[in-house]
């Protein structure tokens, strides 16, 4: 009897050791599993962050390109509007008061109101209109303009084919002689201006 007790004690001790070892193994397993889950969670979080960054970069570039295109379109439309502004420009010797391109059906009309700013009398001998619609030339003129005097030049032609609302764009060449004295005239000379006008109708 006295020899059996240590044997039982030893058995319980061995069982306790075995239980402790098993618990440690389980703890290790769960610890490893927790670490793996942590790593997987980190990986999933990194993947989501990477996807978000790629999304922002992709659509960010698309938005940037769209802004550039819209800005370029705005500049283009502004240039178009500026190019359609009506104007009539000549060198300082000639003042352009007004210009009109008139759609009258079969025979259209160009009206040009000019003032002599030479400081001496001039004789206008010819007026040439150069545009994509026609090269129209008025010759045989002998219009004398005193300093500060104005005149409306009128050209009627069936070659213009003007349409109301369209833009008429032309270079205008005046052929003239100057006469600083009654018995002293010089020339002929040419002076060039440019007109941009919106075609109108006249009733």
Whether pLDDT at 23 is above 70: no
87-201 adopts what CATH topology?
A: Immunoglobulin-like (2.60.40)
Tens-place pLDDT, residues 61-110: 777 778 888 887 776 655 554 556 888 899 999 999 998 888 888 888 88
pTM higher than 0.75 for the full model? no
Per-residue pLDDT at 11: 47
Tens-place pLDDT, residues 136-175: 888 888 899 999 999 999 888 887 788 888 888 889 999 9
% of the chain residues with pLDDT over 90: 21
Please report which confidence band the pLDDT of residue 34 belongs to, taking 50, 70 and 90 as the band edges.
low
Please report which confidence band the pLDDT of residue 13 belongs to, taking 50, 70 and 90 as the band edges.
very low
Residues 131 and 174: their CA atoms lie apart, in Å, by 15
Whether pLDDT at 53 is above 90: no
Comparing CA positions, the residue from 183, 180, 184, 127 lying closest to residue 156 is 127
- Asked whether 193 and 174 are in contact (CB, 8 A), the reply is yes
β-pairing, 94-103 with 108-116?
antiparallel
**Greater confidence, 116 or 60?**
116
DSSP for 96-152, written as a single string = EEEEEEEE-TTSEEEEEEEEE-SSS-EEEEEEEEE-SS-EEEE-S--EEE-TT-EEE
DSSP at 182: T
**Greater confidence, 30 or 122?**
122
- Candidate from 8-12, 92-96, 132-136 with smallest mean pLDDT: 8-12
Whether pLDDT at 1 is above 80: no
User: Where in the chain are the domains?
Assistant: 1-83, 87-201
């Amino acid at each position: 009897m006295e020899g059996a007790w240590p044997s039982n004690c030893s058995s319980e001790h061995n069982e306790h050791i075995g239980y402790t070892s098993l618990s440690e193994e389980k703890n290790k397993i769960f610890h490893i599993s927790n670490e793996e889950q942590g790593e997987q969670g980190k990986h999933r979080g990194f993947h989501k962050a990477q996807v978000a960054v790629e999304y922002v970069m992709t659509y960010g570039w698309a938005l940037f390109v769209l802004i550039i295109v819209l800005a370029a379109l705005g500049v283009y439309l502004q240039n178009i509007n500026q190019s359609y502004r009506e104007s009539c420009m000549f060198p300082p010797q000639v003042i352009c008061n007004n210009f009109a391109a008139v759609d009258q059906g079969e025979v259209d009309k160009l009206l040009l109101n000019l003032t002599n700013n030479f400081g001496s009398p001039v004789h206008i001998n010819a007026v040439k209109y150069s545009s994509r619609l026609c090269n129209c030339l008025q010759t045989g003129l002998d219009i004398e303009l005193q300093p500060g005097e104005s005149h409306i030049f009128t050209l009627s032609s069936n070659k213009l084919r003007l349409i109301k609302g369209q833009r008429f764009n032309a270079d205008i060449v005046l052929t003239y002689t100057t006469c600083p004295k009654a018995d002293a005239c010089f020339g002929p000379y040419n002076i060039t201006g440019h007109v941009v006008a919106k075609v109108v109708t006249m009733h």
